[in-house]
């Protein structure tokens, strides 16, 4: 049946259009082990879609994926969307307990896990009532009671002829959920539509970065991040370019080697990558094929912008995006970078700086909370009406970041509007780390804050008041956190205090702690 909206399927937009244009032989995706042309990718996607359909996956059901950046994850995301189902790629850095919360919350019926994360995936599906099928990349593992277990290799070898066309989803149909701790506390799924994917590819990648079919995209951020999936999937496929996937954990030499070996033309990173890269012994010519660098996650320190340009000859464009907006909505422009600023709004987006009552501040130089509107905004958070109503206000979205407008019209980030902090560009909710620390027998009170290092980047710091007669050992508390929390959330430093500074009503004065600990 036709609808007033017309049909639009983002996976078909990303894959099929490249066949229609006669680009089937071009390289779509390359990993250290495999290279797939667009024609091959199309076959793999339809095979995987047929296999998922045989498992009973129906349009709008969730398929949760916990896999490294490789061909399997790439095709499984596209296959889920091709079928009209919702792809839910999740962080491979989470513990079993953390992952379990996402599996349960998403009500995914099919979970795909990599053998290398077996222990966490097994723990995660154990108490998730809606999961029916567990699919392993890397061969079948021991059975899990109550679940049908399969190998991805078997599922993805179904007959591609069984799926001749993409599901006729509408532009507003759900396509992708991305979990974020985002602007407030516990992880929640930002729900994105098929049309959001085209919007970010056309407005940011094509109009700001000027991407084209000759580009080869290398991203330090993985596919389970909004930043990563844009960089490594939406942007290259939207123009018939090549996605360079790197399954391993990134480090400066590995990324430099990939960039050289595969002649990357676009390099997407975060300050937590540029810093170690500049401190490393990577050869100055390693990125000679890179025509543009991009940075997001945290504000790019000016010294890193200059370091990348002067040493590696790479101009890095800083920008700010969010999982809720799917990708970057304020960005510097090639050849017109203003260091220490995020740049100006991307075409298709408007931003405002507002005071704490939500009233727009028109004067330059006056800080306030950054609001954004644009058509890639998520439709809300899954089953979180309260927070959705706080964050999505009509067309506008509250970013939770403090910004000001500079005299030249660019925007600069001053930090967070609330207590959330970013570790290596990833949101961390202080309450989650505090809850864990409070379970420790020596801890009476705790406040976790982000303390800026010499580059202005947040370092997770725990301020701990020990129980009477106890002391707190930094190493022990850090290991304690590692037992149940993803490594990036653990405190990097523990400071022992006799008491925490509080307001008259007993609220912890985190700003006082931050000032006290500032370097």
- 158 contact partners, CB below 8 Å, separation of at least 6: 47, 48, 50, 51, 53, 54
DSSP 411-446: EEEEEESSS-EEETTEEE-HHHHHHHHHTSTTEEEE
Compute the least distance from the CB of residue 379 to ligand 3SK, in Å.
17
Nearer to ligand 3SK, 23 or 94 (CB): 94
Compute the least distance from the CB of residue 337 to ligand 3SK, in Å.
16
Beta bridge partners of 111: 64, 134
Burial of 168 (0-12, 13-18, 19+ CB in 10 A): middle
Contact with ligand 3SK (CB under 6 A) among 8, 199, 227, 371: 227
Q: What's the distance, CA 256 to chain centroid? A: 22
Binding segment toward ligand 3SK, per CB under 6 A, in 251-259, 321-329, 356-364, 376-384: 321-329
Residue 232 in the binding site for ligand 3SK (CB under 6 A): no
Contact with ligand 3SK (CB under 6 A) among 91, 219, 323, 388: 323
Binding segment toward ligand 3SK, per CB under 6 A, in 244-252, 320-328, 353-361, 384-392: 320-328
Backbone φ and ψ of 214, nearest 5°: -90, -5
Nearest C-alpha neighbor of 239 from the set 12, 79, 8, 18? 18
Kindly report the number of other CB atoms within 10 A of residue 44's CB atom: 24
Residue 320 in the binding site for ligand 3SK (CB under 6 A): yes
Nearer to ligand 3SK, 233 or 464 (CB): 233
Nearest C-alpha neighbor of 220 from the set 271, 259, 276, 269? 269
For the chain, helix, strand, coil in percent to 5 are 30, 25, 40
Binding segment toward ligand 3SK, per CB under 6 A, in 89-97, 318-326, 452-460, 466-474: 318-326
Binding segment toward ligand 3SK, per CB under 6 A, in 319-327, 350-358, 361-369, 464-472: 319-327
Nearer to ligand 3SK, 133 or 222 (CB): 222
Compute the least distance from the CB of residue 331 to ligand 3SK, in Å.
10
Nearer to ligand 3SK, 18 or 203 (CB): 203
Binding to ligand 3SK in span 273-312, by CB under 6 A: 296-297
Nearer to ligand 3SK, 131 or 328 (CB): 328
Residue 226 in the binding site for ligand 3SK (CB under 6 A): yes
Q: Which two tokens stand for residue 344?
A: 């100006």
3-class SS of residue 399? strand
Q: Which two tokens stand for residue 42?
A: 């199309």
Nearer to ligand 3SK, 41 or 320 (CB): 320
Nearer to ligand 3SK, 136 or 417 (CB): 417
Give the integer Cα–Cα distance in Å for 246 and 218: 8
| Residue 405 · residue 382 · CB < 8 Å | no
Contact with ligand 3SK (CB under 6 A) among 75, 184, 322, 376: 322
Nearer to ligand 3SK, 86 or 226 (CB): 226
Binding segment toward ligand 3SK, per CB under 6 A, in 90-98, 137-145, 314-322, 477-485: 314-322
Contact with ligand 3SK (CB under 6 A) among 100, 321, 430, 491: 321
- 253 contact partners, CB below 8 Å, separation of at least 6: 280, 282
Residue 450 in the binding site for ligand 3SK (CB under 6 A): no
Which 8-state DSSP code applies to residue 346?
Answer: P
Residue 403 in the binding site for ligand 3SK (CB under 6 A): no
Q: Which residue has the closest beta carbon to ligand 3SK?
A: 321
Compute the least distance from the CB of residue 151 to ligand 3SK, in Å.
32
- 276 contact partners, CB below 8 Å, separation of at least 6: 251, 252
Which residue has tokens 């600990």?
A: 517
Binding-site ranges for ligand 3SK (CB under 6 A): 226-227, 296-297, 320-323, 327-328, 425
């Amino acid at each position: 049946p036709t609808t007033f909206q017309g049909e639009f399927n983002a996976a078909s937009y990303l894959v099929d259009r490249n066949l229609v244009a006669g680009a089937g032989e071009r390289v779509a995706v390359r990993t250290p082990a495999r290279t797939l042309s667009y024609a091959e990718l199309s076959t793999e996607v339809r095979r995987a879609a047929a296999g998922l359909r045989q498992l009973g996956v129906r349009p709008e059901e969730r398929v949760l994926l916990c896999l490294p950046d490789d061909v399997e994850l790439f095709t499984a995301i596209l296959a889920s969307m091709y079928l009209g189902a919702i792809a839910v790629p999740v962080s491979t850095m989470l513990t079993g307990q953390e992952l379990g919360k996402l599996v349960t919350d998403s009500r995914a019926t099919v979970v795909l896990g990599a053998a290398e994360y077996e222990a966490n995936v097994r723990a995660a599906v154990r108490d998730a009532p809606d999961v029916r099928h567990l699919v392993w990349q890397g061969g079948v593992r021991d059975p899990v009671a109550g679940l049908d277990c399969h190998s991805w290799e078997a599922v993805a070898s179904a007959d591609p002829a069984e799926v001749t066309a993409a599901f006729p989803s509408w532009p507003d149909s759900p396509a992708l959920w991305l979990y974020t701790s985002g602007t407030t506390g516990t992880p929640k799924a930002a729900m994105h539509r098929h049309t959001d994917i085209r919007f970010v590819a056309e407005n940011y990648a094509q109009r700001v970065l000027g991407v084209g079919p000759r580009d080869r995209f290398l991203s330090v951020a993985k596919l389970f991040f909004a930043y990563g999936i844009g960089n490594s999937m939406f942007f290259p496929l939207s123009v018939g370019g090549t996605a360079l996937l790197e399954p391993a954990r990134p480090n400066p030499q590995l990324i430099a080697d990939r960039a050289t070996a595969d002649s990357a033309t676009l390099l997407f990173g975060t300050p937590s990558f540029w810093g170690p890269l500049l401190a490393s012994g990577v050869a100055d010519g390693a990125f000679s094929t890179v025509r543009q660098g991009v940075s997001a996650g945290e504000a790019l320190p000016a010294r890193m912008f200059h370091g990348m340009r002067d040493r590696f000859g790479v101009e890095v464009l800083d920008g700010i995006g969010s999982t809720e907006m799917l990708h970057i909505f304020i960005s510097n422009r090639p050849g017109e970078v203003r260091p220490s600023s995020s740049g100006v709004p991307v075409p298709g987006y408007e931003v405002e700086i507002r005071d704490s009552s939500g009233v727009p501040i028109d004067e330059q130089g006056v800080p306030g909370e950054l609001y954004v509107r644009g058509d890639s905004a998520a439709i809300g958070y899954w089953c979180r009406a309260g927070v959705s109503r706080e964050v999505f206000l009509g067309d506008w979205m509250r970013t939770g970041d403090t910004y000001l407008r500079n005299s030249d019209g660019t925007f600069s980030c001053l930090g967070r509007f609330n207590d959330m902090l970013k570790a290596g560009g990833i949101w961390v909710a202080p309450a989650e780390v505090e809850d864990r620390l409070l379970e420790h027998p020596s801890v009476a009170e705790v406040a976790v804050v982000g303390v800026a290092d010499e580059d202005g980047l947040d370092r997770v710091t725990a301020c701990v008041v020990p129980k009477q007669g106890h002391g707190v050992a930094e190493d022990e508390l850090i290991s304690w956190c590692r037992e149940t929390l993803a490594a990036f959330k653990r405190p990097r430093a523990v400071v022992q205090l006799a008491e925490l500074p509080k307001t008259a009503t007993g609220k912890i004065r985190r700003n006082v702690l931050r000032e006290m600990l500032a370097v």
